[in-house]
Amino acid sequence: MARIADLKWWQKVVFYQIYPRSFADGNGDGIGDFYGVIEKLDYLKELGVGGLWISPHFPSPLFDCGYDVADYCDVAPEYGDLNLFGKFLEEAHRRDIRVILDLVLNHTSDQHPWFIESRSSRDNPKRDWYIWKDGKNGGPPNNWYSTFGGSAWEWDENTGQYYYHFFFKQQPDLNWRNPEVKQAMWDAVRFWLKMGVDGFRLDAVGTIYEVEDLRDQQSGITQEELFLMGYRAKTPQDHRRVGKLWEKMYSYQVDLPEVHDLMKELRQVVDEFPDRVLVGETDDIRFYGNGEDELHLNFNFPLMRTRFITPSWVRKNQRERLGALPAKAWPCNTLGNHDSPRMFSRYGDEEHDEAIARVNLALILTLKGTPFLYNGEEIGMSDYLFTDESRFRDLLALFFLKLAREHPDLISPEEAPLIAARRGRDKCRTPFQWANKPNGGFSPESVEPWLPVNPNYAQGVNAEDQERTPNSLLHFYREIIRVRQENPALIAGDYHELGRDKDCLVFLRQSEEQTCLVVLNMSNKKRKMKKYLEEDRLHTLFCSRSRENQDWVFEPYEIWVAQVN
């Protein structure tokens, strides 16, 4: 049983992901930047977050919204420069807010100087920094696909070979079997750690290696057929079948054993600097290693993969996840990020969306593990399914638009842009809604933001209006985060399931210092519950309504957190 004093900082804080292009436009050009982030640090401190994850801020041609890095040791000019970043880091640390950066290990931009050199000639010293192969039978080296559509191989006319890319063709994969690549990347890691950055979130960590012999994949299906099968999928069984075929299609390109040796090496690099953290974009528990020699945190993505968060879903997830972790590993929970539908849209029922969002937040903040929030969810920002294709910025949306238009027998011309909006990621990356003003207060009225602003900012979905409304979602976030941070059991305590009620999730969090009871009615029905403890033994820490003389009756979507005396 853990004590709060024994935990590291990254086990205790609430993390908050900032998508810098959309968070705060400090210089009025329609693009978020570090000027804006610095201005909003007091807002973040008051919210209660203790850690920031900054999505890629590096120079980039933006074919994949910054995940195509052109320089690992600089700041994109539209966000500021290294001096401004240093000021941001200093100001965050002054407020006891730690900062981790997105580290893209798998690939660079095709405009990175390394790749420009690599493709200049076959005998260039950096040729082997990427994966170049001769074609076969007049075509690519094998039948592998890029996960973002089409072949995983791109022909280079200048040198007469193909290069490999797991993602877009503008994102060539690095050859991590080359020691020079490894050294250059570890130098970049040390660059930021020496500056004072507190760690990294590792992007697409499972895709770093692919089988060396380049054998053909054996899924027996084309990628287009798989995408269309996913479009037609209706039942959980349909979606599971699609998932199994996806795994088979990419089995030689993802999660190879070599990646774990690389993570152990990266852990040694990071451990040269005290008190830093590595967070993996993976739910594969193997990336924890023995609990101390690979990554510190891996996301509990299985918790997210459902239409509705229900008590039975959470209980199953916690039994499987916590039961599988190595002895010294620490859980990590989230319900949203820049690649997935916004929490408000994904789990809502279009009638009780805000009540559901409140219960789901209470869940993330009371389960065992480090919670990660996504910018904007604290004011109820939702997906914005705009269909003006001229405003699409995600190439994935444009890929699905093209695919939809190639199948008019299945998808009408009118439906195609909506399919693209749903399958793309622009919908959850729209600018933060700071006020009920033009452009949601994100940028001046005369400036067009880089993505359209969701017009629901005018219906109270903005920070300024919610600041003035005592029972707003923003105030709820602040209060429930405060309750978590003030109670050791909610941070350090072990998780103990109580009961199997269909609508109410009930569990204990128990540390050496404290025991807390958590009851979440996750339904739209009033529930009479079995009495697990006498109420005179319970001191309410938080409740979404009065608990006097309630005798274990819970209103729809009620939240109750109590200390057990």
State pLDDT tens for residues 501-539. 999 999 999 999 999 999 999 999 999 998 988 888 999
Determine the Cα–Cα distance for residues 525 and 230; give it in Å rounded to an integer.
33
| Paired tokens of 555 | 């209103």
Determine the Cα–Cα distance for residues 479 and 486; give it in Å rounded to an integer.
11
Tokens 């195609």: give the residue: 416
Q: What is the pLDDT along the chain (565 residues), one digit of tens a residue?
A: 778 999 999 999 999 999 999 999 999 999 999 999 999 999 999 999 999 999 999 999 999 999 999 999 999 999 999 999 999 999 999 999 999 999 999 999 999 999 999 999 999 999 999 999 999 999 999 999 999 999 999 999 999 999 999 999 999 999 999 999 999 999 999 999 999 999 999 999 999 999 999 999 999 999 999 988 988 898 889 999 999 999 999 999 999 999 999 999 999 999 999 999 999 999 999 999 999 999 999 999 999 999 999 999 999 999 999 999 999 999 999 999 999 999 999 999 999 999 999 999 999 999 999 999 999 999 999 999 999 999 999 999 999 999 899 999 888 999 999 999 999 999 999 999 999 999 999 999 999 999 999 999 999 999 999 999 999 999 999 999 999 999 999 999 999 999 999 999 999 999 999 999 999 999 999 999 989 888 889 999 999 987 766 789 999 999 999 999 9
Q: What pLDDT shows up at residue 549?
A: 61
Question: If DSSP codes are grouped into helix, strand and coil, which group holds residue 536?
Answer: helix
Give CA torsion, residues 388, 391, 397, 400, to 10 deg. 40
Half-sphere exposure of 511 (CA within 13 A, CB side): 18
Exposure string over 111-124, b if 16+ CB within 10 A, otherwise e: bbebbeebbeeeee
Q: What pLDDT shows up at residue 419?
A: 92
Q: How far is CA 61 from the centre of its chain?
A: 22
Q: What pLDDT shows up at residue 236?
A: 85
Domain 493-564 in CATH 2.40.30.10: no
Secondary structure string (H, E, C) spanning 251-306 = CCCCCCCHHHHHHHHHHHHHCCCCCCEEEECCCCHHHHCCCCCCCCEECCHHHHCC
Q: What class has domain 113-164?
A: alpha beta
Residue 320 sits at the vertex; the CA angle it makes with 319 and 322, to the nearest 5 degrees, is 70
Q: What pLDDT shows up at residue 536?
A: 84
Q: What pLDDT shows up at residue 478?
A: 98
Q: How far is CA 423 from the centre of its chain?
A: 16
Query: Which uninterrupted H or E stretch holds 99?
Result: strand 98-104
CB 257 within 8 A of CB 297: no
Determine the Cα–Cα distance for residues 232 and 247; give it in Å rounded to an integer.
18
What Rg, from alpha-carbon coordinates, does the chain have? Answer: 24
Determine the Cα–Cα distance for residues 418 and 385; give it in Å rounded to an integer.
7
Tokens 């709820």: give the residue: 476
| Paired tokens of 309 | 């968060």
Q: What pLDDT shows up at residue 134?
A: 98
| Paired tokens of 75 | 């700041």
- Hey, which residues are catalytic here? 203, 281
State pLDDT tens for residues 334-360. 999 999 999 999 999 999 999 999 999
Q: What pLDDT shows up at residue 341?
A: 97
CB 550 within 8 A of CB 531: no
CB 49 within 8 A of CB 373: yes
Residue 6 makes CB contacts below 8 A (sequence gap 6+) with 492
Give the phi and the psi of residue 542 in degrees, each rounded to 5. Answer: -155, 135
| Paired tokens of 58 | 């590096």
Query: Which uninterrupted H or E stretch holds 545?
Result: none
pTM beyond 0.85, yes or no: yes
CB 311 within 8 A of CB 505: yes
Residue 499 makes CB contacts below 8 A (sequence gap 6+) with 506, 529, 530, 532
Write down the domain spans for the chain. Answer: 113-164, 218-251, 493-564
Give the phi and the psi of residue 153 in degrees, each rounded to 5. Answer: -120, 135
Burial class (CB in 10 A: 0-12, 13-18, 19+), 108: buried
Residue 122 makes CB contacts below 8 A (sequence gap 6+) with 132, 159, 161
